[in-house]
Structure 1
Amino acid sequence: MPETLADSTDSALALVQRTSLTRLMADAVENLILSGEMSPGTKLNEAAIAERFGVSRGPLREALRMLEESGLIRQEKNRGAFVREIDLDEAAEIYDVRAGLDATAGRLLAPRITPEQVAALRALADEMQEVAGRNDVDRFHRLNLAFHDRLIGFAGNRSLSEIYQRLVKQLALFRRRNLLVPQAIPLFADEHSAIVDCLAAGDATASGEALYRHAQGGKARMQQQRPIG
């Protein structure tokens, strides 16, 4: 019997609902991982997660496949899914790629940055300077993430943004707060202020170089110190 319009609509609706639930589950599990509730190496208990969020195993397994593709979990045959562990060498490689992306974003943004975008980045950089005086590592970490997320978004390149977000999430598997130490926070704050100065001046070359050096500095700090958290 040929499929009717109603049947087709019902099938499409079911697909949308299943896809939406899968995306919601992927986001929920991702949040558990990035918040640190599920630490690297942890085995994901499918039954417990499904019960926690009130879903069936089907959408959850599809969500786990999505997270495997994004590099946040690994699946082992006959053993299940585990939160990925990123070692120092892999984290260093990710930093190298991130440095290149940061530099590209700076070069793209500088020639066309708007006064409103400069003001938004300047506000974050100024707050970093204020927080640096209090040595508030957690607050500085949140401001740092917001600054770079905003800058990448302003660059207006969706492909760059997607790759960048994936790498940042993978670095979170290495260790959160990226080895920030109170003694070094004032230096990091100055680096962000200098980046904003270069962008505000519309200098693509200087902006790219400042962002590249900043990211490479993060890599150097990671390699010199033990992770925290």
Structure 2
Amino acid sequence: LGKISEETISSLREITAKLADLRETSESDLEEFLALNVAYHDALVGVAGSSQLVDSFRRLGIGTVWRQALTAEQWSRQLDHRHVAELTEALAAGDAPAAQAALAAHTEFGKALAREAVARHGGQV
């Protein structure tokens, strides 16, 4: 938590606010939602100060995976930014237990979404 600057917190809050606005105003702009989501995670990974880690994260192509797995109609029901909002506020407060809880919830949400996407496409985990 000590590595997170006020500038990074401000950036994460700005992205989180944009995600909230987008979910409230547009049910079809998956591209923008995914771009903002990737920007959020990119900024968060960047806190580690490792260009190799940031590069590895970017090469994962998480946005591309979600773009291919979900239709525009499905995304607004499935993609939720609540966990990143909770994580952002916990990081801003320096609250490690709350940040860990938000991160764990976000991870479980992502795993459940991935299982649903795999099943929807005829696969199984």
Tell me if both proteins adopt one fold, taking TM over 0.5 as the criterion: yes
What is the Cα deviation at residue 172 of structure 1? Answer: 6.2
Tell me: CA distance 1:221–1:118, structure 2 relative to 1, closer, same or farther (3 Å).
same
What is the TM-score when the length of structure 2 is the normalising length?
0.74
Q: Which residue among 185, 193, 211 is the counterpart of 2:85?
A: 193
What is the TM-score when the length of structure 1 is the normalising length?
0.43
**Residue type of the partner of 1:111?**
G
**Counterpart in the other structure of 2:116:** 224
Cα pair 1:141 1:177 within 8 Å, conserved: no
- 1:204 matches 2:75: no
Superposition pairs of residues 49-128 of structure 1, within 5 angstroms: 110-128=1-19
Superposed CA offset, 1:178-221 (max 9, x none): 53621234xx1222211110110112333233223213311211
What is the Cα deviation at residue 222 of structure 1? Answer: 1.6
Cα distance in 1, alignment partners of residues 96 and 110 from structure 2 = 21
Which structure 1 residue ranges, 5 or more long, are not aligned? 1-109
What is the Cα deviation at residue 173 of structure 1? Answer: 6.9
Cα distance in 1, alignment partners of residues 3 and 65 from structure 2 = 34
Cα pair 2:30 2:67 within 8 Å, conserved: no
**Counterpart in the other structure of 1:147:** 40
Which structure 2 residue ranges, 5 or more long, are not aligned? none
Superposed CA offset, 1:70-116 (max 9, x none): xxxxxxxxxxxxxxxxxxxxxxxxxxxxxxxxxxxxxxxx2332211
**Residue type of the partner of 2:101?**
E
Tell me the SS of whatever aligns to 2:47.
helix
Tell me: CA distance 1:118–1:177, structure 2 relative to 1, closer, same or farther (3 Å).
farther
Cα distance in 1, alignment partners of residues 104 and 8 from structure 2 = 20
Cα distance in 2, alignment partners of residues 202 and 140 from structure 1 = 27
Which structure: larger Rg? 1
Cα pair 1:152 1:161 within 8 Å, conserved: yes
**Residue type of the partner of 2:97?**
T
